[in-house]
Structure 1
Amino acid sequence: MKKMNLLMFTICCISLSYSVDAQKKENFKFTKLVYHASRCNGSCPQISLIIKRNRKIIVRREMFKTKSQVDERYSGQFKGRLSPALFNEIILQLKAAQLDSLKFPDVDCCDGSIKTLIVYYNGKRRQFKSMAPPETVQQLFETLSSIAIDTKLKRAAVTKGIEE
Structure 2
Amino acid sequence: MRLLSIIFLLLLISCSKYTKLDGTYFSTQQDCFIIDDKDGVIENKRDYIEDNLVLKQKNTKLKFRSRSYGLMRRIFKRNISKYTFKILYKTEDSFMVSPKSKLARKYFKNRDSILFKTRYQFADQANYFTKIIYHSSHCFGCCKDLYLELDYSGNLKVTDNGSGKRGCTDSVLNDNYFGKVSYDDLERLKNILKYSQLKTLEWPKERNCFDAPDITLILYQNDKRYYFKENQPCIPIVSWQLTNFLGRLFRYSTLQKIDTTWKYEQ
- TM-score bracket, shorter-length normalisation: 0.7 to 0.9
- 1:80 corresponds in structure 2 to 179
1:20-74, CA deviations, whole angstroms, 9 ceiling, x for partnerless residues?
A: x76xx2334421000001011112222111000110000011345x8743438x9
Where has structure 1 moved over 6 Å in runs of 4 or more? none
CA distance in 1, matches of 2:189, 2:250: 13
Over 3 Å counting, the alpha-carbon distance change for 1:26 and 1:151 in structure 2 is closer
- 2:213 corresponds in structure 1 to 113
- 1:89 corresponds in structure 2 to 188
CA distance in 2, matches of 1:45, 1:141: 16
Identity percentage of aligned residues: 28
Aligned 8 A contact 1:62 1:70 in 2: no
Deviation at 1:110, TM superposition (A): 2.8
Matching of residue 126 in structure 1 with residue 226 in structure 2? yes
- 1:157 corresponds in structure 2 to 259
Deviation at 1:160, TM superposition (A): 3.9
Deviation at 1:138, TM superposition (A): 1.2
Equivalent in 142, 145, 151 of residue 247 of structure 2: 145
TM-score w.r.t. length of structure 2: 0.47
1:94-125, CA deviations, whole angstroms, 9 ceiling, x for partnerless residues?
A: 22111110000115663211001000015410
Over 3 Å counting, the alpha-carbon distance change for 1:68 and 1:150 in structure 2 is farther
Letter aligned with residue 263 of structure 2: G
CA distance in 2, matches of 1:52, 1:77: 17
Deviation at 1:134, TM superposition (A): 0.8
Matched position secondary structure for 1:155: strand
TM-score w.r.t. length of structure 1: 0.74
Over 3 Å counting, the alpha-carbon distance change for 1:88 and 1:152 in structure 2 is closer
Which structure would you say has the larger Rg? Answer: 2
Over 3 Å counting, the alpha-carbon distance change for 1:142 and 1:159 in structure 2 is same
CA distance in 1, matches of 2:167, 2:243: 24
- 1:27 corresponds in structure 2 to 126
